[in-house]
Chains A and B, each alone.
Chain A
Amino acid sequence: MFKGSREVEARMYDKIKIIAGIIIFLIIMLTPFWYNSLTGKAAYIPQLKIGTDARQCVENTLYMKSNHANLLNKWKESVVREGMRVHKAGDGKLYIISLTGTCLNCHSSKAQFCDRCHDYAGAKPQCWDCHVVPNNAVGRWE
């Protein structure tokens, strides 16, 4: 096969077994794709309820769509580790950094906004393991 190397007979042994094995492997590996296309589950687009009339989020919509997870990650570091609780937006506006206070103030329904898209994308953010969804919360002190 290769020049200069020993002449090796190019032949595939157990051809049928190998090809059958590859096909079975591919079928199993691609389960999510064919399963979803057969059952039509992938065909819908999640309908989100933004929950506010405000034109703009903390940053512009395009940025928020693709980067909200990064922004929240930075926020979390900023508040917890640096004690910095104010976010200066690109347009110079100042916001208090708070997932439940600032974000959910506008996006008042987690179920209709956050969850719908996360479910669709199969994303499982751990935020809600600890952070309280305001609507579900009861009890105040003071």
Chain B
Amino acid sequence: MDRRQFLKIAGFSIAGFILDPSLDIRPKGLFANTAKQKITSYIRKWGMAINLDACAKKPGCRACIDACNIVHNVPGLGSPKEEVKWIWKSPYPTVFPEHIHIINREEIKNLPVMVLCNHCDNPPCVKVCPTKATWKREDGIVMMDYHRCIGCRYCMAACPYGARSFNWFDPRLFLKTVYQDFPTRTKGVVEKCNFCEERLIRGLLPACVEVCKENALIFGDLAAIDSDVRKILKQRHSIVRKPHLGTEPKVFYIL
């Protein structure tokens, strides 16, 4: 499935869902329990492939980071101690400590690698949350409910990838502009990448993917055999972060 097809189907599914009253997908009563109802019987599995070589073509590029920060109102605190990060760069040896043998491709050794929430199949952060403020959706997205988070930071201790950030201060104090289609967070809650869940439902690709001119980020449905992401993962060699932990990340790195 190419991008256009993806957008079309996603767009149609939401549009049909809203417009066509004959589709038997809406709650029966005013507040019928909708938890078990699915938008379609087909369940997607969102995933991302990151092409390290393509990303490295433009050193210093931070288009994806900026785009993400803007559309999610991620504050720029400028202090490494309290920083909030959804997607960011980290040197290759820190991302793949188990892949740092001395004889390594020169250009890979010092490569900055994009890191974000891995939306694991077995997310350790979900297991430890004492309020179910974070959970795994059927489509593979590890979601956060900022309304419910008590800020115990157990999930931060449990995440093997350092993908979770805590709001040590009121994030609004550090936002220059507020993007109005997405809420900000409040102090005292944990946050992280949501695979642009709010854009997927509108048939849009994640902001970081859409903005990347190098096509270094490939996003799509891992359950669909002909999706872009499945295709590239089939053709090229890919690795994931800390596979020995059994978390089964859904962000793949193409070497």
Indicate yes or no for A touching B, C-beta below 8 A. Answer: yes
Q: Is the CB of A80 within 8 A of B143?
A: yes
Using Cβ atoms and an 8 Å threshold, which residues of chain A touch B39?
Answer: 83
Bound Cα distance from A126 to B186, whole angstroms: 9
Using Cβ atoms and an 8 Å threshold, which residues of chain B touch A90?
Answer: 30
A134 at the interface (CB under 8 A from B): yes
Q: For B39, give the chain A residue with the smallest CB separation.
A: A83
Stretch among B175-183, B231-239, B246-254 lining the A interface? B175-183
A15 at the interface (CB under 8 A from B): no
Bound Cα distance from A1 to B222, whole angstroms: 81
How distant is A63 from chain B, measured CB to nearest CB, in Å?
10
- From B27, B67, B147, A76 is in contact (CB under 8 Å) with B147
B31, B147, B180, B207 pick with most chain A CB within 10 angstroms: B180
Chain A: residues with Cβ within 8 Å of the partner, total of 28
Q: For A74, give the chain B residue with the smallest CB separation.
A: B31
How distant is B82 from chain A, measured CB to nearest CB, in Å?
18
- From A82, A129, A140, B180 is in contact (CB under 8 Å) with A140
Using Cβ atoms and an 8 Å threshold, which residues of chain B touch A20?
Answer: none
Using Cβ atoms and an 8 Å threshold, which residues of chain B touch A140?
Answer: 179-181
The answer to whether A130 and B186 touch (CB under 8 A), given A82-B34, A84-B34, A96-B18, is yes
Q: What's the A-B contact tally at a CB cutoff of 8 Å?
A: 68
Bound Cα distance from A90 to B30, whole angstroms: 6
Q: For B38, give the chain A residue with the smallest CB separation.
A: A83
Bound Cα distance from A83 to B143, whole angstroms: 11
- From B18, B37, B70, A141 is in contact (CB under 8 Å) with B70
Using Cβ atoms and an 8 Å threshold, which residues of chain B touch A80?
Answer: 143, 145, 147
Q: Is the CB of A81 within 8 A of B26?
A: no
Bound Cα distance from A100 to B73, whole angstroms: 16
B184 at the interface (CB under 8 A from A): yes
Using Cβ atoms and an 8 Å threshold, which residues of chain B touch A78?
Answer: 34
A132 at the interface (CB under 8 A from B): yes
A138 at the interface (CB under 8 A from B): yes
CB interface residues, B 161-200, toward A, < 8 Å: 177-186
B35 at the interface (CB under 8 A from A): yes
B101 at the interface (CB under 8 A from A): no
Using Cβ atoms and an 8 Å threshold, which residues of chain A touch B137?
Answer: 83
Interface 1/0 per residue, B10-23 and A, CB below 8 Å: 00000001100100
Q: For B172, give the chain A residue with the smallest CB separation.
A: A129
Q: For A90, give the chain B residue with the smallest CB separation.
A: B30
Using Cβ atoms and an 8 Å threshold, which residues of chain A touch B182?
Answer: 132
How distant is A124 from chain B, measured CB to nearest CB, in Å?
13
- From B26, B67, B177, B201, A94 is in contact (CB under 8 Å) with B26
Bound Cα distance from A100 to B70, whole angstroms: 18
Q: Is the CB of B178 within 8 A of A132?
A: yes
Interface 1/0 per residue, A49-79 and B, CB below 8 Å: 0000000000000000000000000101010
Provide a sorted-by-A list of 25 A–B residue pairs whose CB atoms are within 8 angstroms.
Answer: A76-B147, A80-B145, A81-B143, A81-B145, A83-B39, A83-B137, A85-B201, A90-B30, A96-B18, A126-B186, A130-B146, A130-B184, A130-B186, A132-B179, A132-B182, A132-B183, A132-B184, A136-B178, A138-B180, A139-B70, A139-B178, A140-B180, A140-B181, A141-B70, A141-B179
Q: Which residues of A contact B (CB under 8 A)?
A: 74, 76, 78, 80-86, 88-90, 94, 96, 100, 126, 129-132, 134, 136-141
